[in-house]
Amino acid sequence: MDINQDRENISKKLDIGKEILYLTKTECQNIGVTYEKILELTNDALVAHGKKEYEMPAKIGVHPLEEVFFHAMPAYVPSKKAVGMKWIECYPNNPKKFSLPQTTGLLILNDILSGCPIAIMDCAWITAMRTPAVTVLAAAALHPDAETFGMFGCGVQGIEHVRFVVKRLKKLKKIYIYDVVEAASDNLIMLVQPEIQVEIVKGKKPQELAEKCEVLSSATIIIKETLSVVKDEWVSKGQTILPCDLNTFWDPKISKRADKYIVDSKEEHELFDRMGYFPDGLPRIAAETGEVLAGVKAGRTNKDELIVCSNIGMSVCDVIVGREIFDIALNNNIGKILPL
C-alpha cells in the first residue's frame, strides 16, 4: 500500500489534524498482537536498521535527578510507514520508593504526509515486549543450538525474556534465573512455568548461572557505576551474553576481551559512553545486531567465540510495533478518539 492510500485509510476513521487515537496500556496489551507477531515485527525493525533503511538519531535525554533519565526516541521506518517518538523514563529506584515501575512512558505516532499526530499510546507494554524480542532474535542468530539460558533480573523484562526465549531457542533444556530479590524469582516461576515446557531453575548465586549457561541475558538496573556482579573468571569461551542493562551488571573486562562485541546501535552506545556509562571505555564494536540479522555482517563464526551483544533499545522497534497496534485499534474501534 502506498503512502497516500495508507493516509486515506486512516482518514476513514480519524480526522487527521483534528483528532488523535489514545490507547491505554491494557488496550495495547489486549489488542491481539501475539509473541510471534512481536518477533516478526522486531525482526523487520532490526533488519531495516541493519540495511540502513531508517532514520533514528541517538536518544537525547534529560536527567532531573542523579541516576535517572528521560529519553526522547524518534524514528522513521519507511517500509512500515511508521514515524513517531517514544518518550520514556528510567528511574531505577521507583519500585522501592514508590512501588512503581522503573520504566513508564508514551509513544506518539504521526501521519507521514501532514506530520500531524495521529496516536498517543502507553509504551510500557511495547517496551516490555520488543526488548526481549531483540535479545531472543539475537540469541537465535548467534547461538541457535543452545540448551541452557540464564536470566539475571526477574522483573518485567526478565519474565518476558523467559516467555520469549522458548519461542526461538528450540533446543533449550533448562532456563536458570536469578534475582537479588528471591520473591521476584519465585514470581517468575509461578507465572511462566505453567506456560512453558522447559524447566525453570532458580539459581542460588550469579556464579552458578554464569558457569552453567551457554546463553545469558540481564535486565536489572542501568547506572553509571559498573557493579560487576558477574566476574570475568566465571565466563568462558563459546558463551553468548546479551545484556539489556548496558554496562552495569557484568565485569567490563568481559566485553573488552570478548571475541565480538555487538551492539544494537553504535550511535546509542557511543552516546552512553560520552555520558559516562562506560567508565572503563567502550569496547571495540564488531557489528550491529541488525547487521547480523540482515546478513550484512558476520555473527558467530566459530563455536568458541565469546560474544557479548548489548541491546540498549531502539525506537525503530517501538514505532513499528506501535504502528501495528494503531492499525488494529483503528480497524476495530479500540481506544478513545480525542480532539487535538
Ligand X SMILES: NC(=O)c1ccc[n+]([C@@H]2O[C@H](COP(=O)([O-])OP(=O)(O)OC[C@H]3O[C@@H](n4cnc5c(N)ncnc54)[C@H](O)[C@@H]3O)[C@@H](O)[C@H]2O)c1
Give the shortest CB-338-to-ligand X separation in angstroms.
27
Please report how close the Cβ of residue 178 comes to ligand X at its closest, in angstroms: 6
Per-residue x/- mask for ligand X, residues 200 to 239, rule CB under 6 A?
Answer: -------------------xxxx----x-x----------
Asked whether position 244 contacts ligand X by CB under 6 A, the answer is: yes
Is position 251 an interface residue for ligand X (rule: CB under 6 A)? Answer: no
192 lies in the site for ligand X, by CB under 6 A: no
CB atoms within 10 A of CB 86: 25
Grid coordinates given for 326:
494503531
**Closer residue to ligand X in complex, CB, 299/313:** 313
* Cβ distance to ligand X smaller for residue 117 or 206: 206
Q: Show the cell assigned to 324.
A: 501495528
**Which stretches of 174-220 are DSSP H helices?**
182-192, 206-212
Letters for 148-187 (x = contact with ligand X by CB under 6 A, - = none) are ----xxxxxxx-------------------xxxx--x---
SS3 content of the chain, % helix, strand, coil (to 5): 40, 25, 40
Do residues 53 and 75 touch, judged by C-beta distance below 8 A? no
Pick 27 or 179: Cβ nearer ligand X: 179
Contacts of 51 (CB under 8 A, 6+ apart): 290, 294, 296
The 272-301 contact track toward ligand X, x by CB under 6 A, reads: ------------------------------
Binding positions for ligand X, 6-65, rule CB under 6 A: none
Comparing CB distances to ligand X, the nearer of 129 and 330 is 129
Given the rule CB under 6 A, which of 27-35, 164-172, 274-282, 311-319 is the region that contacts ligand X? 311-319
Minimum CB–partner distance for residue 11 and ligand X (Å): 33
Q: How far apart are CA 133 and CA 40, in angstroms?
A: 9
Cβ neighbours, 10 Å, residue 216:
27
* Closer by beta carbon to ligand X, 222 or else 287: 222
The answer to whether 291 touches 53, Cβ cutoff 8 Å, is: no
Q: Does residue 90 bind ligand X (CB under 6 A)?
A: yes
Amino acid occupying residue 146 = A
* Nearest residue to ligand X, scored by beta-carbon proximity: 155
What character string, x for contact with ligand X (CB under 6 A) and - otherwise, covers 91-120?
----x------xx-----------------
Listing DSSP states for 96-160 in one string gives HHHS--SEEEEEEEE-TTT--EEEEEE-HHHHHHHHHHHHHHHHHHH-TT-SEEEEE--SHHHHH
Residue 289: CB partners within 8 Å, gap ≥ 6?
46, 49, 50, 134, 137, 138, 262, 263, 264, 309, 311
Concatenated DSSP letters of 142-159? H-TT-SEEEEE--SHHHH
Report if residue 255 touches ligand X, rule: CB under 6 A.
Answer: no
Query: Judged by CB under 6 A, does residue 311 bind ligand X?
Result: yes
Least distance to ligand X, CB of residue 166, Å: 18
Which triple of cell numbers denotes residue 125? 507494554
Interface with ligand X: number of residues (CB under 6 A): 29
Binding footprint of ligand X on the chain (CB under 6 A): 90, 95, 102-103, 127, 131, 152-158, 178-181, 184, 219-222, 227, 229, 244-245, 311-313
